[in-house]
């Protein structure tokens, strides 16, 4: 505090009060911002649809999948094998129950084959035909509507 300054407690107090006011406003605004930003962000629907979760996911067109052929599709983040068999559309998890490799369709023999150790599964029910897999492939529910093949998620 030098000579030129009028040492007025009121003015000093006023400066402090101003600072405090500013600090409080900043406090309120920042709190509001901290709360509103995640809440609003959360409410905005994300771009990725994720899985339909409980509903149906369209995975292929019936016209693109003639009898005796199959395709591997993504169901959520998990791969699934969809086969058009004589008994209708069948779908199974494409993760081999032996060591987790991704299985494929062998149209020549009409079996699901795992390329890693030649494990084979039946397209009728996913059961093991031959090779090292210890358990059948989990089956997935399918429906066909208007020429579209749907997998029922979950």
Partner 1 sequence: MRRDVLRGRFTLVRRAVAFVLPSAALVALVLLAVAGSAGSASAQDPTGSPDPSATAGPAAPPVPPAPTPIVHPSDGSSNTCYDCHLAVNDRQKAISETWKNSIHGAGGIGCADCHGGDPTSDQVTVSMSEEAGYIGTPGRERTVGVCGSCHSDPERMRRYNLPTDQYAKYWRSVHGERLATSRDDRVAICIDCHGSHDVKKVADSTSPVYPVNVPRLCASCHADADRMKPYGIPTDQFDVYQGSVHGVALLTNLDVRAPSCASCHGSHDARPPRDTEVVDVCGKCHTATQALYEESRHAELGPASPKCWTCHGTHDVTQPGVRLFFHEADAPYQCTTCHSASDPSVLRIELDRFENEADRRCDTCHHARSTIYSQVEGIAGALSGAQSAYDTAAARITEAARLGMIVTDADVALSEAKTSLIQAQAAVHTTKLTVISGLATEAESKAVGASDMAGAKIDESVFRRGAMVVVVVLILVNVAALYLVKRRLDRQLHG
Partner 2 sequence: MTGEAERDGGMTGWLEPRLRLGPVLGAALHVRVPMAARTYYFGGIALFLFAIQVVTGTLLALYYKPTPDAAFESVKFITSDVSFGWLIRSMHHWGANLMILFVVAHLLRVFFQAAYKFPREITWVIGVGLLGLTLAFGFTGYLLPWDQRAYWATVVGTEIAGSVPLVGEPLMLLLRGGMDVTEATLSRFFGIHVLALPLIMAGLVGVHLLLVHQLGLAHPKRPEPRQGDPTPSTPSTRSTPSTPATDERLRPFWPHYLLDELIAWYVLLGILVVLASMFPAGLEEEANALETPAHIKPEWYFLAVYELLKHVPRIVGILLPVVGIGLLTVWPFLDRSPEVLARRRKVAVGGATLVLAAGIGLTIWGYVS
Question: What does the binding site for partner 2 look like in residue numbers (CB under 8 A)?
Answer: 37-39, 41-44, 46, 48, 50-51, 53-55, 76, 152-154
Binding partner of 50, given partner 2, partner 1, none, CB within 5-8 angstroms per partner class: partner 2
Q: Which residues bind partner 1 (CB under 8 A)?
A: 20, 23-24, 26-27, 30-31, 34, 77-79, 95, 99-102, 115-118, 131-132
Assess contact for 153 and 146: CB atoms under 8 A: no
What separation in angstroms does the CA of 71 have from each of 6, 25, 34, 143?
86, 60, 47, 16
Complex with partner 1: residue 68 or 132, whichever CB lies closer:
132
Q: Report d(CA 12, CA 1) in Å as an integer.
A: 11
Closest CA to 133 of 96, 103, 106, 101: 96
Complex with partner 2: residue 16 or 117, whichever CB lies closer:
16
């Amino acid at each position: 505090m030098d000579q030129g300054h009028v040492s007025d407690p009121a003015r000093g107090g006023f400066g402090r009060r101003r600072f405090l006011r500013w600090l409080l406003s900043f406090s309120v605004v920042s709190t509001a911002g901290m709360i509103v930003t995640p809440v609003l962000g959360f409410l905005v629907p994300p771009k990725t649809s994720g899985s339909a979760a409980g509903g149906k996911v369209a995975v292929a067109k019936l016209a693109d999948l003639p009898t005796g052929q199959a395709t591997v599709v993504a169901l959520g983040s998990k791969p699934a094998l969809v086969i058009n068999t004589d008994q209708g559309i069948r779908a199974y998890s494409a993760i081999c129950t032996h060591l987790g490799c991704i299985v494929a369709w062998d149209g020549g023999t009409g079996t699901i084959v795992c390329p890693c150790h030649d494990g084979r599964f039946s397209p009728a029910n996913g059961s093991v035909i031959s090779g090292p897999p210890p358990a059948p492939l989990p089956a997935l529910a399918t429906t066909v509507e208007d020429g579209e093949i749907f997998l029922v998620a979950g």
